[in-house]
């Protein structure tokens, strides 16, 4: 059956991508920030359909493409499960007082003038210690967004600071899955890879921190002290705020540090939040359920169960607090999961029908020097992130494609592993339909295109990597004998 496949042309490969860009642009034009609530999904499915028609023209059967789609979606199942678990965690952590406590104490200790800077640092150190940008964004990130609103600051800039810090820490942590994946694909060892990344990642973080400091010291970033007091009073009058509220957060960080897989870690955190809600906030749970006919035990069970699947609803009469603490539940992630499935379907059809492979091979023709090869690798990683909607594929596929070329040019494998992270890992949260972009938007409650301009670290890192490549800075060579062994 394989012999019946025609090799696709570059025109074949570009048609579905060009039409998808047109449809996504129209989607954003017509629906704005609401484009991810159905319009983008339709664009991605239509794009996949166009790619499938081109595949049929080239001799691929629907069964072959369907098999590829199932495989592609299965690669995203881990992310989908984590999304569901994070939705549940947000619901129970608000009800248990964990998120309200983080907001309350955060408002007490964080100054508006250094808030963005501090948020970036806090998330960077947290992600560095546990190796997970997703865990940091879904826990600390949620609270930091709430604190920014209480201080009268921009939630979009705050989201940019959270993501910048979280992705720096994730990228530099030996506990991170992508940080282990990149050197494994490129053929180098983990700590050589991390040391080599410092040269591009360090300056990128410094640039980001300087910009966050500048934004923080602007006169408009002063906060509203009266509104701040109202938020704190509303939280303390409704919730039993104590240091015990932080136990679920500490447990999640310990489990993540011990390298327990993300899904069970977050799910345990969500269930633990439910348990603490019963013991620390029984009145909150009772008011939330609002069914006097139920026994106390059933009321507690119903409250936790509802928070897990539908999130928590807070009614205090203070609009900003109610909006902040009415969130979560697995059901809140279903639209994001719909987006992820549609994006993975599009990427899977392109990969199965060899359309993606043709584009990557065509790009190699432009890579004449070491610098242009690095630029081409960066462009490929970003393109694969856009097309396949998955950061792991954006590391694995370009890594496989360019490993031989790097060795042929006597370039050390750590150059490739660093480049894969500088572009593949870092740019994934900037794409709305990518699993990372969809996750960050859903967890933080900020549209991807709204926080994108403020993800200074994620925007600077690929640019710094390109400058290093073109100027031949810290691009290390190996001898031909070593290269031949790779």
- Residue 480 confidence class, pLDDT cut points 50, 70, 90: low
* 61 falls within a domain: no
User: Over the stretch 252-272, which tens digit does the pLDDT of each residue have?
Assistant: 888 878 878 878 988 999 999
* 67 falls within a domain: no
* 376 falls within a domain: no
* 190 falls within a domain: yes
What DSSP string describes 367-419? --SHHHHHHHHHHHHHHHHHHH--HHHHHHHHHHHHHHHHHHTTB-HHHHHHH
Q: What is the pLDDT of residue 224?
A: 52
d(CA 45, CA 339): 10
d(CA 288, CA 315): 9
Average pLDDT, stretch 292-310? 93
Most confident of 38-47, 48-57, 236-245, 396-405: 48-57
Q: What is the pLDDT of residue 252?
A: 87
Average pLDDT, stretch 111-124? 90
SS3 312: strand
Cα–Cα–Cα angle for 278, 308, 124, rounded to 5 degrees = 95
Q: What is the pLDDT of residue 279?
A: 94
The residues with which 203 forms a beta bridge, in sequence order, are none
* 214 falls within a domain: yes
User: Over the stretch 348-384, which tens digit does the pLDDT of each residue have?
Assistant: 898 899 888 888 778 777 777 888 899 999 998 998 8
Q: What is the pLDDT of residue 1?
A: 43
Q: Distance between alpha carbon 436 and the CA centroid of its chain, in Å?
A: 3
Cα–Cα–Cα angle for 36, 344, 135, rounded to 5 degrees = 70
Which tokens sit at 92? Answer: 């129970």
Q: What is the pLDDT of residue 326?
A: 86
* 164 falls within a domain: yes
Residue 129 vs residue 357, higher pLDDT? 357
Query: What pTM, to 2 d.p., does this model score?
Result: 0.75
d(CA 273, CA 252): 11
Number of domains in the chain: 1
* 48 falls within a domain: no
Please, what is the end-to-end C-alpha distance for the chain in angstroms? 33
Which tokens sit at 429? Answer: 């949260």
* 354 falls within a domain: no
Q: What is the largest CA-CA distance in the chain?
A: 79
Closest CA to 256 of 321, 323, 380, 169: 169
Q: What is the pLDDT of residue 374?
A: 92
């Amino acid at each position: 059956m394989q012999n019946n496949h025609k090799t696709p042309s570059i025109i074949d490969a570009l048609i579905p991508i060009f039409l998808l860009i047109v449809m996504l642009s129209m989607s954003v034009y017509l629906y704005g920030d609401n484009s991810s609530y159905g319009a983008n999904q339709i664009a991605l499915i239509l794009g996949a359909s166009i790619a499938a028609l081109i595949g049929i023209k080239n001799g691929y059967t629907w069964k072959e493409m369907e098999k590829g789609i199932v495989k592609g979606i299965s690669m995203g199942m881990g992310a989908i499960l984590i999304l569901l678990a994070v939705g549940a965690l947000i619901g129970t952590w608000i009800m248990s007082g964990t998120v309200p406590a983080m907001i309350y104490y955060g408002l007490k200790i964080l100054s508006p003038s250094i808030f963005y800077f501090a948020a970036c640092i806090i998330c960077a150190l947290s992600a560095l210690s546990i190796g997970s940008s997703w865990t940091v964004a879904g826990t600390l990130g949620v609270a930091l967004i709430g604190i920014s609103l209480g201080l009268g600051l921009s939630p979009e800039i705050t989201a940019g600071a959270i993501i910048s810090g979280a992705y720096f820490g994730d990228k530099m942590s030996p506990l991170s899955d992508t940080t282990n994946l990149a050197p494994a694909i490129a053929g180098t060892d983990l700590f050589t890879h991390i040391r080599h990344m410092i040269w591009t990642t360090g300056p990128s973080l410094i640039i980001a921190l300087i910009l966050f400091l500048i934004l923080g010291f602007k006169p408009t970033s002063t906060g509203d002290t009266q509104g701040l007091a109202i938020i704190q009073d509303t939280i303390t009058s409704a919730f039993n705020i104590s240091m015990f509220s932080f136990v679920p957060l500490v447990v999640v960080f310990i489990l993540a540090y011990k390298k327990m897989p993300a899904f069970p870690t977050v799910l345990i955190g969500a269930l633990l939040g439910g348990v603490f809600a019963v013991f620390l906030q029984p009145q909150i749970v009772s008011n939330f359920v609002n069914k006097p006919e139920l026994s106390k035990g059933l009321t507690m069970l119903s409250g936790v169960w509802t928070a897990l699947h539908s999130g928590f609803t807070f009614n205090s009469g203070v609009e900003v607090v109610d909006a902040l603490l009415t969130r979560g539940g697995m059901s809140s992630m279903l639209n994001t999961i719909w987006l992820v499935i549609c994006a993975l379907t599009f990427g899977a059809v392109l990969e199965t029908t060899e359309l993606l492979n043709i584009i990557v091979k065509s790009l190699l023709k432009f890579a004449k020097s070491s610098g242009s090869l690095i630029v081409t690798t960066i462009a490929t990683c970003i393109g694969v992130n856009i097309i396949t909607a998955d950061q792991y594929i954006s590391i694995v596929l370009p890594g496989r494609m360019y490993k031989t070329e790097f060795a042929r040019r006597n370039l050390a494998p750590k150059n490739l592993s660093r480049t894969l992270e500088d572009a593949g890992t870092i740019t994934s949260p900037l794409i709305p339909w990518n699993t990372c972009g969809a996750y960050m938007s859903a967890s933080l409650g900020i549209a991807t295109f709204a926080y994108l301009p403020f993800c200074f670290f994620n925007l600077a890192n690929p640019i710094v990597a390109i400058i290093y490549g073109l100027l031949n800075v810290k691009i290390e060579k190996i001898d031909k004998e070593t290269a031949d062994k790779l």
